[in-house]
Amino acid sequence: MRIRSTTLFALISILSFTGAVFAQQHDPRDLNGVWARQSRVLTMSNEAPPMTPWGKAKFDAAKPVYGPRAVPGGLGNDPVMTCDPLGMPRNLFLEVSIYPMEIVQTPKRVFQLFEWAHLWREIWTDGRALPKDPEPRWMGYSVGRWEGDTFVVNSLGFDERTWLDHFGNPISEDARFEERYRRVDRDTIELTMTLDDPKAYTKPWISEKKIFKLDPKHEIEELFCVPSENEAFNKRVRDPGAGVTNK
Amino acid sequence: MTSLLLALMLLHHGTGTYDSTKSVTLSGTVTEFAFTNPHAALFFDVKDANGKVVNWAIEMNSPGVLARAGWTRRMFKAGDQITITVRPAKAGTPVGLINRQRPVIVNGKEVLKADGTANPID
């Protein structure tokens, strides 16, 4: 009798322990899945570092349609208003907090699939170095590696025509950008970023911690920014909404 | 007055086009539902107090987001009688952003409950 109850107790202990392990189980080096941003801070952090004169001039020329400097849509010059590419790192900010992102890991590359604009980004993980003095690209150039359970992505070669974010903060071709992704539990990825752009800012801009949550039921939708449809929308909705008349 | 307006604008981190402090409920006749990317738009005729017909344009979210919330491109068709609530444009023109905190009624039937889903960012 005594032996039986001890055995039963041991069995229950093993079962409940195994159950707990299965419930928590995740591979911290597996980032696959559809992820939705939780934070609504739509840039690196609320406090931008001081800008250089070049950065300030670019900031002043930007007329955002969002945030504290917002002008009506029809009066702004945000590249998104004409379906121009958002580029990097901007794809990680406002749009991804509305439209999720999928991460797909393959042996030599990690892909980020952004629902907004039906866009992908490739992060090379085959050990290659970042290019030296590359031609600028909307998405820049990115390589990734694992530091323990943190996926570290380093990027450069961004296109100066992009805005850093919806507030019209600048980014230059000299920018270097680091992202650190950590899957802290099955449902959560934490991301911190550092933007080092001496042409635009007087010191590096370190982000607050961004949280992505696993959204297993979500399938990435087809969401193109369609220039012709967007132009019609601008003429029929945004312009009159801003009091701009066009015939 | 100007500084008060400025303070309100600084507090408000929404879009520059619409007045998120105002909400207007409108009834009228659908002229077109443009289920377009990246933003859908609904156009409908509203009769003002003097009997003058004004065509309103309503900004909505993207078709993908709307579809996830159960919308279809056939949700509104020309001739439908609708009642819908918007955040009106600050410019005072007949343009608004749909306010999903209020229901959408089509031909007397509540087709969308007041649940805030698929609300465009404001």
Q: Which residues contact A101 (CB under 8 A, 6 or more apart)?
A: A34, A35, A36, A37, A91, A112, A113, A114, A115, A212
- Amino acid A78: pLDDT: 94
| CB A157, CB A173: distance < 8 Å | yes
Q: Residue A27 burial by CB count (10 A; 0-12/13-18/19+): exposed, middle or buried? A: exposed
pLDDT value at A213 more than 60: yes
- Amino acid A5: pLDDT: 59
What digits encode the pLDDT tens for the residues A37-72? 887 678 999 999 999 999 999 999 999 988 889 898
- Compute and round to an integer the Cα radius of gyration of chain B: 15
Nearest Cβ partner of A243 from B34, B65, B93?
B93
What digits encode the pLDDT tens for the residues A149-184? 999 999 999 999 999 999 999 999 999 999 999 999
Would you state the structure tokens that stand for residue A182, as one six-digit string? 């950590």
Q: Which residues contact A201 (CB under 8 A, 6 or more apart)?
A: A48, A49, A50, A51, A52, A55, A195
- Amino acid B6: pLDDT: 34
By C-alpha distance, the chain A residue nearest B63 is A223
Percent of chain A with pLDDT over 90: 72
| Whether A46 contacts chain B with CB within 8 A | no
- Amino acid B12: pLDDT: 35
- Amino acid A24: pLDDT: 60
CB atoms within 10 A of CB B21: 9
- In this prediction, residue A118 has a pLDDT band, given cuts at 50, 70 and 90, of very high
- In this prediction, residue A8 has a pLDDT band, given cuts at 50, 70 and 90, of low
- Amino acid B45: pLDDT: 98
- Amino acid B11: pLDDT: 34
- Amino acid B16: pLDDT: 81
3-state secondary structure chain A: CHHHHHHHHHHHHHHHHHHHHHHHCCCCCCCCEEEEECCCCCCCCCCCCCECHHHHHHHHHCCCCECCCCCCHHHCCCHHHHCCCCCCCHHHCCHHHCCCEEEEECCCEEEEEECECCEEEEEECCCCCCCCCCCCECCCEEEEEEECCEEEEEEECECCCCCCCCCCCCCCCCCEEEEEEEEEECCEEEEEEEEECCCCECCCEECCCEEEEECCCCCCCCECCCHHHHHHHHHHHHHHHCCCCCC
- Amino acid A18: pLDDT: 52
Per the prediction, chain A carries an average pLDDT of: 90
Q: How far apart are CA A109 and CA B73, in angstroms?
A: 37
The pTM (predicted TM-score) of the whole model is: 0.84
**DSSP-based three-state secondary structure for B24:** strand
- In this prediction, residue A222 has a pLDDT band, given cuts at 50, 70 and 90, of confident
Would you state the structure tokens that stand for residue A94, as one six-digit string? 């406002």
ipTM score of the complex?
0.84
Q: Do B17 and A232 touch (CB under 8 A)?
A: no
| Whether A72 contacts chain B with CB within 8 A | yes
- Amino acid A43: pLDDT: 93
- Amino acid B13: pLDDT: 38
| Whether A66 contacts chain B with CB within 8 A | yes
| Whether A27 contacts chain B with CB within 8 A | no
pLDDT < 50 regions, chain B: 1-13, 122
pLDDT value at A96 more than 80: no
Mean pLDDT, range A216-245, rounded to an integer: 91
Q: How many CB pairs (< 8 A) connect A and B?
A: 103
